[in-house]
Structure 1
Amino acid sequence: MQNKRKPRYIDLFAGCGGLSLGLELAGFKRAFAVEKSVEAAATFSHNFIDSHASARQWSEDCREGGDKRAILSSQLKKGLVTMDVAEVADLLEDPAFRDEHADKFSDIDLVAGGPPCQGFSLAGRRHGADKRNTLVWQFFRIVKVLKPRLVLIENVEGMTRKFSARDTHSPIKRIIDEVAALGYDVQPVLLNARNYGVPQNRSRIFIIGRRTRDGSDGLAAHEMLSRENSHQIRAKSRLQVLPPEEKLEVSVRDAIADLRTDGSVRGRKPSEYVLGLNKSVKGIGVLTHRESGGALHNHEFRKHSRKTEARFRFIQLLEGHGISRDVLYWSGMGQEDNLRQEVAGHGAWRWRELAKVCCSDERFADYLPSSSESIFELFSPLVNAFSSKKHSQRVLRQKSVSFTVMTIPDDYIHYCEPRVLTVREQARLQSFPDAFEFIGRVTTGGARRKIMVPQYTQVGNAVPPLLAKAIGHHLVALLSEMRTNHFWEKQVIE
């Protein structure tokens, strides 16, 4: 390998491109990416390949005539494949097809990706029989054929937990064993994005595999890292653990304060964090030519009813006065005894201070009683009016990192404005630069959520680019070490 050649990667299950963006910022060059979702693929293409006018146009471009072989051949030339990964693996196992596209399949340094994780996730119901859990094995089929020098798998922390007490092992052990059996030394690491300059508390598992010198079974480190010492390793491994970067944590306010456009308060000047994001994209796909300082995309506000705004404001006030929003949950569940206990447990003085604010805010005028003899009687109408069975809705803390960015827009409330975050604000919390534009529907619900990937979902599912960049630098160092230690024999793909 010539020193000037950038290491080449393939991104499977690429989503909107968070992992790819980070890898390219670290110096990698994409051979091609695979993303089945038309909406997420449209965003990927819009930022890395060609600025399409709309997701509909991209969808039409994907419907090319011919059989699967012809479709894959055409899409490989563009550098983005929208077929199912299993179909791609089927064609890659054909030696004649690989020879036909040797420029895409030969001398691959890294195969990376985050197979869909819904079945592993701790955020929802976990099902061992979830079909999406099997997609990681399609990932391995491609690794087995292409024999990249490095493998990177990203997934949720839930992979380290057994599905049930009857299970012998957690999913991650099977995955680690498979990577080792394919001829790789393996190192699983638990990393939190907040330690890498991302304003978000987001823990994820990264499994790094380095091909052994002779292709024999590799060494698998099975023991996982503790949450508190995610940068240290207790199991022996031939790989150097990814070190944490010494950076001050970036707060929610640092990430989005300049985006406030409510008309009453001007936004602050962009923070060093924001300026750094927007300066980092020179040389990356379409982003090179797109002005991040121009029109701000994906910052459209969701329309809230007057009652919803009042409810968001009330939740903000509860947070500001140190009162748990569980009062709304117990009311929503119809548990009056628990509600009374919750009210009494926070101290009368907190409720009196809250009452002063609420009584002077016209948003609550329709919900407050004309008279009351107790704190409970005063707040019962408010609590009942804004009750909810939703436990996950929380107010962001402006001086701290964000909670894990989710795919549903109403999970979090802005720290000072009575609204949910915009797609752009969510993207800032994920460390996407402003020049990175998201394509397609902003959000969707009901049955469509199972088949569509709108903008909020694209952002929530992405690997934070700054975290991916840190991992990418580590992988570049591993490749350099392999070259120095004569690991760099030319790949022979059977």
Structure 2
Amino acid sequence: MNKLTHIELFAGCGGMSLGLETAGFDLLFANELSPMASETFAHNLLNETLEGNESPKKTLWIKSQFPKNEIEKRLRENPFEAPKGKYSDIDDNTVLDEKLLIGDINELLTAFEEKPALLNAIRNNDVDLISGGPPCQSFSLAGKRERDNHKNTLPASFARIAGMIQPKTVLLENVKGITSPFTENGRKYYAWLEVSKAFVLEGFVPVCMMLNSKYFGVPQNRPRFILIAYRKDIFDKIFMKHVKNEILTVSNDFYKTVLDNQKDLDSVTIKNFKYYDIESNPELFDGVILPKITHFERDFINTSEAIGDIRRTQLNYAFDNTKGKYANILNSIFLKDSYRDSIIKNHEPRNHNLLIKSRFRFYQVIEQFQNGLKQGAIDLFTGKEVSEELRSKLLNEFSHHKLLFPDNMASREVLMTPENIDEVEELIKLIPTKKHSQRALQEFEPAPAQLTIPDDLCHYHSDHPRTLTVREMARFQSFPDWFEFKSKVTTGGQMRKFEVPQYTQVGNAVPPLLAKFLGETIKKQLKEIL
């Protein structure tokens, strides 16, 4: 029980795998759709460089339009076009141990169906855990049959692979939106409930919860849905040890209800099951069934603690030698001794013109407003009607701060306090934007839920009216400083449909620190019964 085995599906850049590895799980193999995210995963989790490597040993393509020696083309291939290709690195004799398989999970499912020897080799490992985060927001067991809707097939494919391999446990992570109802063919569905049913049909008993990363030492207000499903024989052993546990009782009853109503699954509703919210029932998160809370409101890690030690991007910061206590804790939890003498990477700032800097400074200022004045300033910025009384209050508030006024004639900016509200309005006319989700970080609060587009957030400090660097965003996700993100930094336009650049890799990742605590909880439960 010192080391367990796990398979990672929808692996992304490797946040979940890094956390599970630290919790004591050895990676059997991983699967990820995006070659760009896979490049980061391979570099950090498998110690394999892909760029310029014509013969990677640990990274295999399930399908590609390009031969194995054209690695650069493979790394830039549209993954949704790859299944049309004739090339594959997988055959009946492929050994999947410690491999990263790049490609669509449905192609992986097909490979297992067509190559039973591969599947048998995996099953012989007696896998302890399969983890991943498939898109689930509109999944229903009816919708999975809509083959033209690719995303609707992914949770079903995840459950199907779990059913084929029969690991002891399954760990699924998803966004909070999975708990919101959606309508399909005139019926209301809850994706989290439909996913739970899918795992029951494959022989697993689910336990569902809504976590928030800030309760586990991650400096981010990031609510996430988590499903841990136990193979029925494993669940029964855990249930025997905690026979009076209400959480397990609810799950056991749900399992029976689903099986009893297989021919009419729509009759199984949210009245038959529930998830546990860390905000509503923190007392249940005690480490027995649900992961144990490590940080409460009084000691949430804030923005300044997360990135304040590396705010000067013009400097080169040596790994494990910054003043940040939080960063040093991460670097000690997620160890990598070979990096000790290196410079922290992925910390290059984006280039901003004077007007963008002025807008970001405006956001920094209004983020400090109190008593409803922040909303008043937003209304002023977005052109809404603002009363004279509110204008007067806003001027009084602005008079305590310096705004950045662009001087285009001199190609520089001037930091000064506005003398009247008209000056503020003139500045606003110079810095418009169609994006009304932009905001500045709050220095002494956890960051908002991680975003994948770099200019949605700007730095909190007046000396730095800029977006965050990839490294700063990685800090908010609890990645150690040695973890290096690969491929393009950002993208845009139509390329967003399939490219996964560094900012998106970070934003989509499971925080490694959260994954570590989830993994430790599962390991503890298995250790008690095996």
Q: Does 1:243 align with 2:292?
A: yes
Q: What amino acid is aligned across from residue 404 of structure 1 in structure 2?
A: A
Offset of residue 383 of structure 1: 1.5
What per-residue deviation string (whole Å, max 9, x for no partner) do you get for residues 339-395 of structure 1? 434x743x6244145246448x55469899xxxx99443322112212223221111
C-alpha contact 1:106 1:146 (8 A) present in aligned 2: no
Query: Counterpart of 1:304?
Result: 352
Q: What aligned pairs does 1:38-187 form with structure 2 within 5 A after superposition? A: 38-52=35-49, 54=51, 62=61, 63-64=66-67, 68=88, 70=90, 74=94, 76-77=96-97, 79-94=99-114, 96-98=116-118, 102=121, 106-117=125-136, 131-164=150-183, 166-187=186-207
Can you list the C-alpha shifts for 1:315-349, whole angstroms capped at 9, x where unaligned?
212223444266456655xx4xx2434x743x624
Identify if the C-alpha distance between structure 1 residues 32 and 105 changes in structure 2 by more than 3 Å, giving closer, same or farther: farther
Partner of 1:491: none
- What whole-Å deviation, never above 9, does each CA across 1:234-257 have from its counterpart, x for those lacking one? 9xxxx8223322462111111111
Pair 210,72 (structure 1): closer, same or farther in 2 beyond 3 Å: same
Please name the residue that 1:428 is paired with: 475
Equivalent residue letter for 1:410: D
CA distance in 2, matches of 1:72, 1:49: 23
Contact 1:14 1:113 in 2 (8 A): yes
* Pairing partner for 2:304 from 247, 253, 275: 253
Quick one: structure 1 residues 290 and 186, their matched pair in 2 at CA, closer, same or farther if it must change by over 3 Å? same
What SS does structure 1 have at the residue aligned with 2:506? Answer: helix
Please say if residues 72 and 81 of structure 1, whose CA atoms lie closer than 8 Å, have aligned partners that are also in contact: no
- The answer (yes or no) to whether the contact 1:189–1:230 under 8 Å persists in 2 is no
Partner of 2:445: 400
The C-alpha deviation readout for 1:241-292, integer Å capped at 9, x for no partner, is 233224621111111111111569x99953221111111223xxxxx35315
Aligned residue pairs total: 452
Change (3 A) 1:413 1:379: same
SS of 1:14's equivalent in the other structure is coil
Q: How far apart are the structure 1 equivalents of 2:306 and 2:172?
A: 28
Rounded Cα–Cα distance in structure 2 between residues aligned with 1:112 and 1:330: 46
Residue 15 of structure 2 corresponds to: 18
Task: Give the letter for the 1:354 counterpart.
Answer: F
Give the equivalent residue in structure 2 for 1:377. 422
In the alignment, residue 12 of structure 1 is paired with which amino acid? Answer: L
What secondary structure does 2:90 align onto? helix
**Alignment CA distance shift 1:130-1:429 (3 Å):** farther
Alignment of 1:436-455 (within 5 A): 436-455=483-502
Query: Aligned letter for 1:423?
Result: V
C-alpha distance in 1 between matches for 2:281 and 2:147 = 26
Q: Give per-residue Cα distances to partners, 1:383-420, cap 9 Å, x unaligned.
A: 22122232211110111100011100011110011000
SS in 2 for 1:93: helix
Contact 1:251/1:398 (CA < 8 Å) preserved in 2? yes
Scaled by the length of structure 2, what TM-score is found?
0.76
Conservation of the 8 A alpha-carbon contact between 2:339 and 2:482 = yes
Partner Cα separation in structure 1 for residue 349 and residue 89 of structure 2: 43
Between stretches 165-174 and 20-29, larger displacement belongs to 165-174
- Tell me which of the two structures has the higher relative contact order, counting C-alpha pairs closer than 8 angstroms and 6 or more residues apart: 1
Distance verdict in 2 for CA 1:289–1:275, change over 3 Å:
closer
Say which is worse superposed, 209-218 or 160-169, in terms of deviation.
209-218
TM-fit CA distance, 1:96:
3.4
SS in 1 for 2:495: helix
Tell me the secondary structure at the aligned position of residue 233 of structure 2.
Answer: coil
Partners of 1:118 and 1:455 lie apart in 2 by 24
CA distance in 2, matches of 1:9, 1:201: 28
Query: What residue is the counterpart of 2:325 in the other structure?
Result: 272
Contact 1:119/1:130, CA 8 A, preserved across alignment: no
For the 8 Å contact 2:183–2:189, the answer to whether it is kept is no
Q: 1:106 to 1:116 in 2, by over 3 A?
A: same
Query: Is the Cα contact below 8 Å between 1:54 and 1:439 reproduced in 2?
Result: no
Q: Deviations over 1:90-134 (max 9, x none)?
A: 2223463236x61576311111100035758xxxxxx99853232
Amino acid corresponding to residue 102 of structure 2 in structure 1: T
Shift of 1:83: 2.1
State the SS of the aligned residue for 1:304. Answer: coil
> Alpha-carbon deviations, 1:25-64, whole Å to 9, x = none?
1000000000010000000000011241638869997455
Q: Is the 8 A contact 2:313 2:348 kept in 1?
A: no
For residues 430-456 of structure 1, what are the alpha-carbon distances to aligned partners after superposition, in whole Å with 9 as ceiling and x for unaligned? 000011000000000110111100000
- Length-normalised TM-score, structure 1: 0.82
The residue type paired with residue 280 of structure 1 is I
Structure 1 residues 229 and 135: alpha-carbon distance in aligned structure 2, compared to 1, 3 A threshold: same
Query: Which residue of structure 2 aligns with residue 229 of structure 1?
Result: 280
Look up the equivalent residue of 1:11 and give its one-letter code: E
State the distance in 2 between where 1:188 and 1:325 align: 36
Unaligned runs of 5+ in 2: 69-85, 140-145, 237-250, 255-271
On the 8 A contact 1:396/1:415 being kept in 2, the answer is yes
Amino acid at match of 1:131: H
After superposition, the Cα gap between the structure-2 partners of 1:479 and 1:78, relative to the gap in structure 1 and judged at 3 Å, is: closer
Structure 2 partner of 1:487: none
Secondary structure of the equivalent of 2:374?
coil
Q: Which runs of 5+ in 1 are unaligned?
A: 121-126, 283-287, 484-494
2:361 counterpart residue number:
313
State the alpha-carbon separation in 2 of the partners of residues 10 and 433 from structure 1: 22
Alignment counterpart, residue 354 of structure 1, candidates 383, 398, 406: 398
Residue aligned with 2:386, SS: helix
Aligned-pair identity (%): 33
Residues 128 and 144 of structure 1, relative CA distance in 2, 3 Å threshold: closer
Does the Cα contact within 8 Å between 1:18 and 1:468 map onto a contact in 2?
A: yes
Q: CA deviation at 1:482?
A: 2.8
Q: Aligned-pair RMSD on alpha carbons?
A: 3.5
SS at the partner of 1:10? strand
